[in-house]
Structure 1
Amino acid sequence: MKLFLLLQNVSIDEKVKNAPDSSYEIGLFIGTYLPFVLLIGLAYFFYYTAKKRKNSDKN
Structure 2
Amino acid sequence: MKSLIFFLQVNVEQKLKEAPDNQYQIGVLIGSFIPFIVLAGIAYALYYRAKKKEKKLK
| Equivalences for residues 9-28 of structure 1 within 5 A | 9-28=9-28
Matched length: 55
Q: Distance in 2 between matches of 1:31 and 1:16?
A: 12
Which structure: larger Rg?
1
Deviation, structure 1 residue 8: 6.7
Please, what TM-score do these two structures have when normalized by structure 1?
Answer: 0.78
Higher relative contact order (CA 8 A, sep 6+): 2
User: RMSD of the TM alignment (CA)?
Assistant: 2.1
Runs of at least 5 residues in structure 2 that lack an aligned partner in the other structure: none
Structure 1 stretches of 4+ moved >6 Å: none
